[in-house]
Structure 1
Amino acid sequence: MSVPYETCGTHEAFESPDACLQRLLARTLNSFELPDETLSRLDTALAYDSCLHSAAHHSDGRRRETYRHVWLVADGSAVTLWELTHNTGPDGQLHHEVYTDQEELRIATARLPLPSAEPEALEGAPPLVVDDRTAQPLPGREYEWGDSPDHARRVLRRAENADRPGEEVAVLLAGAFAHQITQAFGRLDPLRGRRPGFSLYEHAFLLADGREVSLWEVEHTATPDGRHMCEVYETEDAAQSAMERRAASL
């Protein structure tokens, strides 16, 4: 199912987290209801990510989607906003709403004039297609073949953190024959000097015995002089914790 959606970066290759927030607030009808405390925390946003959470499309053209927007803020925590889009109004146009928690989102979604997803409620009505992305497995990897040991060495060599993966990991990845790079979170803020930014990348390696081993690379500018810095960790949790520590220390 194709669900059109304007994500951060559609128009600008390097939009800042604040620009993504401003576009969300501009298109949502009820953004004025957001708590001042939430908006104040978002003023310190360092990184941004978004994803489709769920969708329901009726064959008569009515539809609704929900999206999760997450910002990493300066105190090391994350702020989540939930966006509801639908075209169930009298004008048939696509409308956007924003909420601070899933319960508010659930209540707003329940009031939409869409049929229930339960089979017994669909008798005599066109079928409803429901797609909940949170229940779907991650898609298969698309590996790049060749030069994987060199790629692993380059990633490990540019890591500046003292607790970076050691020699044992380096030896293991010397036997990799394929790899894939995926951006997992955020983007660096291109407006250098204004605020630091964070990005998280997964470098996945395929070994000869069929195992997958990942390195998690944090790129950021949360340094005293604002310079670009790379840190590498063996787990996503460790990388996320490092991002939170860096953000909290600002």
Structure 2
Amino acid sequence: MNDPYETTETHLERLLGRALNSFELPDATVERLESALAHASSLHSSHHSPALHRATYRHAYLLSDGSSLVLWELVHNTGRGGAEQHELYTEESEARLAASRLPAGFPGFAGPDAGPGLDPGADPGADLDADLELLASLMATPPAPLPRTYVPDNSADHARRVLRRAENADRPGEETARLLRAAFAHHITQVFGRQRRVEGRDAGFTLYEHAFLLLDGTETSLWEVEHTATPDGRHMCEVYGAEHTAREAMELRARVR
């Protein structure tokens, strides 16, 4: 089961050391991994295009108490000069979401030659029409959602990590964080995705709803905006307590010129 040329301890050190987001792994997960006796790694999925190379690996560990633990590793070539980047997640769904946030991997996004306004030499009038269409879609009322299927899987910790990666100053505060400590199941939905040019560069916008089921049977949501409308083109995460606030934030980012 183990790689004959690498111990499980060495494998874990290498895996955690190269992951950009290893600090986001739950402390309980890292502590459990300290007792790993053996491991097995396999390619779970891959995608290759002229702009993006992406692969997801499944790393399974046998622990000293007889239980098992799985980490999902996302590998992609979005670093400077096409350098390989590594990210780690405890849930397959989070690895899929992370893959969808990659510049060339936004689900449903138009490519650089599809649609007005994406070509730097496009007609300014067409670009304005595209702006208006984008702003209208940002503020549009979404279709009725499908019934949620809540997953009880470390949901309170998932909420903590969503709030921790938010960079906006007006993100939900301690009251919301305290409320979400009672979350025992959650459901993630992508409700919006679009890519267009902002200040001469392609920028991607996505909106996710993280819905949580609380111990008292009530539901609450966090609205996560992921975008690359930043000065250096990096991904930025913003989190809001209401959908309309999140959509207004996307509208503001899309109008920056």
TM norm structure 2: 0.48
Structure with higher RCO (Cα < 8 A, 6+ apart): 1
Larger Rg: 1
TM norm structure 1: 0.49
